Amino acid sequence: MIRILRQIFTTGIVTEDVLGQEEAHIKVVGDRLEEAVKKRFRGSLAIRQVDAGSCNGCELEIHALNNSIYNCERYGIHFTASPRFADMLLVTGPVTRNMEIALRRTYDATPAPKLVVAVGDCGCNSGIFGETYASLGGIDKVIPVDAYISGCPPTPVALLNGILRAIEGK
């Protein structure tokens, strides 16, 4: 136990403020994000992530949002297990034919008003997988999308930026 405590105290808080270039970016984006979440969602934005066919690269970066460095919870953003509690769906793609029904059901299960953000090049326009018998294309081919985050995969900062754009309605 003493080792655990020592490790916790020597690690300290690693969540980033203003350091390098990328971190400065986090600070700018983060402050606005916190402000927007406070104003529009009473300080708490619940996100349900849906993998509608991604290669799992985007999932790795969305995971990184939760690590102690990006620490998205400080802005009031948290990931929820059920679409019933969600304000926003963060959807990676391309939408496969085999996931289409599950994605529609998840969308329907999310209470309105809701935001949908398409993540990654494949989520935006189906990327390298194209539109085929198995891949239906970008997320907006199946459900309405409010904001797009491109990148293969988008970095955690790009994700935070995209979430900000979605809640600011730009």
Partner 1 sequence: MSLLKDAIISALGEDVRFRENYQHPASVVFCTVPKAKFTEAAKAMKRSYALLAAEWATEETPWFGIFACYRWGSEYLIVKTVTTMDDPAFPTLTKKYLPAYRFERQMNSLMGVVPEGHPDLRPWLKFEDWPQDAYPLRKSFDASKPMPRVEGEYRWSRAEGEGVYEIPVGPVHAGIIEPGHFRFQAVGEQIINLEERLGYVHKGIEKRFESMRWEDGFRLAGRVSGDTTVAHSLAYCMALESMSGFVPPERACWLRALFLERERIANHLGDIGAICNDAAFAFMLYQLMRLKEGILRTNSELFGHRFIMDRIIPGGVAVDIDVKGKEKILSELKWLEKEFEKLVTIYDENPSLEDRVRGTGVLLPEKARELCAVGIVARASGMNLDCRIFNPFTPYDQHDRIEMDVPVLVTGDVHARTWVRIHEVRESTRIIRWLLDNMPDGNINGTIEPPSSEKAGFAAVEGWRGEIIYWLQSGPEGEINRCMVRDPSSVNWLGLEQSIPGNIVPDFPLCNKSFNQSYSGHDL
Where do contacts with partner 1 occur on this chain (CB under 8 A)?
3-4, 7-8, 11, 14, 49-64, 66-69, 79, 81-83, 94, 96-99, 102, 106, 127-136, 152-153, 155
Q: Which is nearer to partner 1, 45 or 136 (CB)?
A: 136
Q: Which is nearer to partner 1, 122 or 145 (CB)?
A: 122
Rg over CA atoms, the chain: 17
Report, in Å, the least distance between residue 39 CB and partner 1. Answer: 26
CA–CA gap between residue 135 and residue 52 (Å, rounded) = 10
Report, in Å, the least distance between residue 169 CB and partner 1. Answer: 25
Report, in Å, the least distance between residue 35 CB and partner 1. Answer: 25
Give the β-pairing of 77-79 and 45-51.
parallel
Distances (CA, A) of 84 to 48, 126, 135: 9, 27, 27
Which tokens go with 126? 């189906």
